[in-house]
Amino acid sequence: MTEQTEGLDSTGGGSDSESARLTVDLGALRANYRRLAVSAPRTAAVVKANGYGTGAVPAFEALCAEGCRDFFVATVEEGAELRRAFAERSMERGLLPSGRRRLAAGRIRAANSRGDREAVASRIYVFSGPLNDGGAQTMARNDLTPVLNDEIQVRRWTPYRELPVAVHVDTGMHRLGFPWDALSADLFEGLNVRVVLSHLANADEPADPMTDRQIDRFARATTVFPGAITSLANSAGALSGVASDMTRAGIALYGGNPFATQRNPMRPVATLEARVLALRQVGRGEPVGYRGTHTTTAETCIAVLGIGYADGVPRVLSADARVAWRGSRLPIIGRVSMDLMHIDATTVSDGIALGDWVEIFGSTVGVDEIAAWAGTISYEMLTRIGSRARRTYVDN
């Protein structure tokens, strides 16, 4: 197992002062990619929102080494930052001349690993498309491929028409994209359309008839773009057998369950943990936390954890939710506060100690499980993790 960390603690490089950490298993990330990649000729990785909270650049590099060529981000800023960050890491490893910050296809001649070579040749698509002329220029300058969503964006991209684009077709979500039944080849004349894509609204429920309607509409729309790569299936669609030339893997890459009612087929990637900062032995009938929303019913060992809603733990979590210490599930009690939370550690009071790490979610308490307790989804749990949680990367 290899390990690396991002960020330094206040003591100058150790980890004794941190109170929360997110451990990301890049080996599990790659394993999830391999599982998804068998479903289509090409599988793209969605690394928007900082790689669903896990770190876009480490995910990008790990997946490049696995052979991924296509990546999707939400905004031009995300795409440009991904190119810049990879270029800086390449300079640190001596793969780019000092001071050379722009990374475009073919610019790294000294790349000496598969991951570096694949990163150079990677395609980064921007879902939002060019929102203004400056955004279009930034995309062209950073070798980013826009996903065009309307006629205004088509006109905005005209100065760069020789560069590749993707076209988004709205087949029923009614968010972004050209209406599927109002497409005309004339609108895209002169453009280098490489990919045509749409997004499934209800793929997490494979039997939902909406998916079949969208598949049919997309098939009709793609006739306007002969020869273009088609991309329809997301994580759930890929695992359900929805056919297209290129799938787009998102939540499943990061270990979240792509299905609403089926067992999670993916390996957990992210583990969020908090340190025990205090242990309190309190008697029966004592209120706990803000507003005393929990009252002890017996002699109780309370462990105070160094994590709160500022770090991404939802305030709404209550005594129904559990965390884990060395495989034992322990209930959350009282209100989650900004920096701290309480758990009932009575059943493990003989073993738990100050400084121990407690799993908020990971291999014992799944991210989808704690998300359900909070009334949300794993996407939100992962993307809301705050910057105070040190990111540590391992390769198991």
The CATH number of residue 243's host domain is 3.20.20.10
Is 48 one of the catalytic residues?
A: yes
Considering only CA atoms, which of 262, 269, 215 is closest in space to residue 241? 215
Report yes or no on 264 lying in a domain: no
**Domain identity same for 229 and 281:** no
Q: Is the pLDDT of residue 78 over 90?
A: yes
- Percentage of the chain exceeding pLDDT 90: 77
Q: Is the pLDDT of residue 104 over 70?
A: no
**Domain identity same for 248 and 308:** no
What pLDDT sits at residue 103?
37
What pLDDT sits at residue 228?
96
Please answer whether residues 168 and 232 qualify as being in contact, where contact means their C-beta atoms are separated by less than 8 angstroms.
no
Report yes or no on 378 lying in a domain: yes
User: The tokens of 10 are what?
Assistant: 């206040």
| Per-residue pLDDT reduced to its tens digit, 244-261 | 899 999 999 999 998 888
| Per-residue buried b or exposed e for 128-143, using 16+ beta carbons within 10 Å of the residue's own CB | bbbbeeebbebbbebb
Report yes or no on 23 lying in a domain: no
User: Cα–Cα distance between 295 and 130 in angstroms, integer?
Assistant: 54
What pLDDT sits at residue 233?
84
Last residue of a domain, one of 254, 286, 306: 254
**Domain identity same for 78 and 192:** yes
Question: What mean pLDDT is predicted for residues 211-222?
Answer: 94
Report yes or no on 17 lying in a domain: no
The overall pTM is greater than 0.85? yes
| Per-residue pLDDT reduced to its tens digit, 282-292 | 999 999 999 99
Choose the catalytic residue: 160, 254, 290, 379: 290
What pLDDT sits at residue 223?
96
Report yes or no on 33 lying in a domain: no
Q: Is the pLDDT of residue 310 over 90?
A: yes
Last residue of a domain, one of 201, 222, 254: 254
Last residue of a domain, one of 198, 225, 254: 254
Choose the catalytic residue: 48, 309, 379, 393: 48
**Domain identity same for 250 and 318:** no
Q: Is the pLDDT of residue 262 over 70?
A: yes
Report yes or no on 83 lying in a domain: yes
Q: 18-27, 96-105, 215-224, 306-315 — which is least confidently predicted?
A: 96-105
Number of domains in the chain: 2
Is 290 one of the catalytic residues?
A: yes
User: Cα–Cα distance between 89 and 82 in angstroms, integer?
Assistant: 11
What pLDDT sits at residue 119?
56
| Per-residue pLDDT reduced to its tens digit, 145-177 | 999 999 999 999 999 999 999 999 999 999 999
- Residue 299 belongs to domain spanning: 270-395
Q: What is the mean pLDDT of the chain?
A: 89
